């Protein structure tokens, strides 16, 4: 098992730093280019959500990325300092009334790109856990 920790201030200009960090984490893992692209999109979307929705773009708040490489799974935990939310309250982006909305597809997209998805809402923030199988 190998662990990596990374933290950014809640500014979308820091997304590129997260991308660089994740590339370092996955650099030596046996992943296809498609899986690498899926990881990058999922993590970027989750961090973006943490900055905008969780921390309300408050640059005094931070987003933490904790990556754990197990033998057969890469686990990436993205944690904000926000108030949390209830996953079942997120509208289904595939319903006709939601198809033309400008937002609301992030979690749907993330779920479609990873092998495991979980949300932990805590008193000190919300943590999104992404699991990717290492083949």
**CATH number for the domain harbouring residue 29:** 3.30.565.10
Q: How confident is the chain (135 residues) per 10-residue block, as mean pLDDT?
A: 98 97 96 97 96 95 98 97 73 60 72 95 91 93
φ, ψ of residue 13 to 5 degrees: the values are -65, -15
pLDDT at 84: 72
pLDDT of residue 36: 97
Tokens coding 92: 């289904």
- The alpha helices in the chain, defined as continuous H runs, are 15-26, 33-49, 106-113
Looking at residue 92, its pLDDT comes to 63
The whole-number pLDDT of residue 98 equals 55
The neighbouring-strand residues paired with 128 are: 78, 119
How many Å apart are CA 61 and CA 11, to the nearest integer?
9
Q: Count of domains in the chain?
A: 1
- Tell me which residue range forms the domain holding 22: 2-133
The stretches of 27-85 forming alpha helices (DSSP H) are: 33-49
The per-residue pLDDT for 135 is 78
Q: Report d(CA 5, CA 82) in Å as an integer.
A: 19
Query: In whole angstroms, what is the distance from residue 98 CA to residue 94 CA?
Result: 7
Say what the pLDDT of residue 70 is. 97
Beta bridge partners of 67: 4, 76
Beta strands 116-122 and 125-133, pairing class:
antiparallel
Residues 6+ positions from 123 with CB-CB distance below 8 Å: none
């Amino acid at each position: 098992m190998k662990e990596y920790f990374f933290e950014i201030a809640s500014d979308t200009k820091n997304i590129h730093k997260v991308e660089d960090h994740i590339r370092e984490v996955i650099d030596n893992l046996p992943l296809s280019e498609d899986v690498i692209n899926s990881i990058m999109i999922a993590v970027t979307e989750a961090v973006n959500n943490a900055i905008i929705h969780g921390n309300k773009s408050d640059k005094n708040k931070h987003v933490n990325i904790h990556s754990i490489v197990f033998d057969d799974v890469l686990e990436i935990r993205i944690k904000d300092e926000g108030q949390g939310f209830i996953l079942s309250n997120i509208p289904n982006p595939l319903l006709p009334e939601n198809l033309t909305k400008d937002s609301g597809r992030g979690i749907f997209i993330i779920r479609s790109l990873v092998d495991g998805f979980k949300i932990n809402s805590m008193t000190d923030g919300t943590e999104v856990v992404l699991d990717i199988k290492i083949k």
